[in-house]
Amino acid sequence: MTALQLEMLAGAAIALGVLMVARALAPSTPDLGSAFRAMAPAPTVAGPGPGDLQSRVGLWITTHSPALARARVSDADFAILAVNPITHTGRKLLASTYGLAFPMLANLALAAAGVPLPWAVPAVAGLATGVLFFTIPDGALRDRAAAARLDFARALVSYIDLVGLERRSGSGTAAAMESAAATADNWVFLRLRAALGTARYAGVAPWDSLGLLAADIGVPQLDDVANIMRLAGEESTSVADALTARSEALRNQLAEDEHAAANAAGERMWIPGSLLVVIYLILLAGPGVMRVIGG
Top pLDDT among 2 and 211 is at 211
What would the DSSP string read from start to end of 150-181?
HHHHHHHHHHHHHHHHHHHTT--HHHHHHHHH
Q: Could you tell me if 169 and 240 lie in one domain?
A: yes
Instruction: Name which residue leads in pLDDT, 140 or 240.
Output: 140
CB-side exposure of 66: number of CA atoms within 13 Å? 6
pLDDT digits (tens, 9 = 90+) for 203-246: 889 999 999 999 999 999 999 999 988 888 766 567 888 888 88
Question: Are residue 191 and residue 230 in the same domain, yes or no?
Answer: yes
Residues 228 and 216 in one domain: yes
The C-alpha atoms of residue 112 and residue 160 are separated, in whole angstroms, by: 64
pLDDT interval class at 36 (50, 70, 90): very low
In this predicted structure, the answer to whether residue 43 has a pLDDT above a threshold of 60 is no
| Average pLDDT, rounded, for the chain | 79
Task: Specify the 3-state DSSP secondary structure of 238.
Answer: coil
Better pLDDT: 123 or 179:
179
Residues 115 and 185 in one domain: no
Question: What is the per-residue pLDDT for 192?
Answer: 94
CA separation for the pair 175, 162 (Å, rounded): 12
**Residues 18, 29: one domain?**
yes
Average pLDDT over residues 155-182: 90
Is the per-residue pLDDT at 32 higher than 50?
no
pLDDT at 14: 60
* 120 and 168 together in one domain: no
CA distance 261 to 238: 36
pLDDT score of 9: 54
Are 58 and 132 found together in one domain? yes
How far, in whole angstroms, is CA 179 from its chain's centroid? 30
Residues 175 and 127 in one domain: no
What is the residue range of 254's domain?
149-268
Q: Which of 128-142, 146-160, 227-241 is least confident? A: 227-241
Total domains in the fold of the chain: 2
- Residue 292 lies inside a defined structural domain of this protein: no
- Please tell me what DSSP assigns to residue 116: P
Q: Does residue 290 lie in a domain region?
A: no
| 171 and 154 co-located in one domain | yes
pLDDT per position as a tens digit, 96-125: 888 888 888 887 888 887 777 787 888 888
Question: Is 275 part of a structural domain of the chain?
Answer: no
- Confirm if 64 and 132 have CB atoms less than 8 A apart: no
Of the ranges 6-10, 280-284, 286-290, the best mean pLDDT one: 280-284
235 and 123 fall within a common domain: no
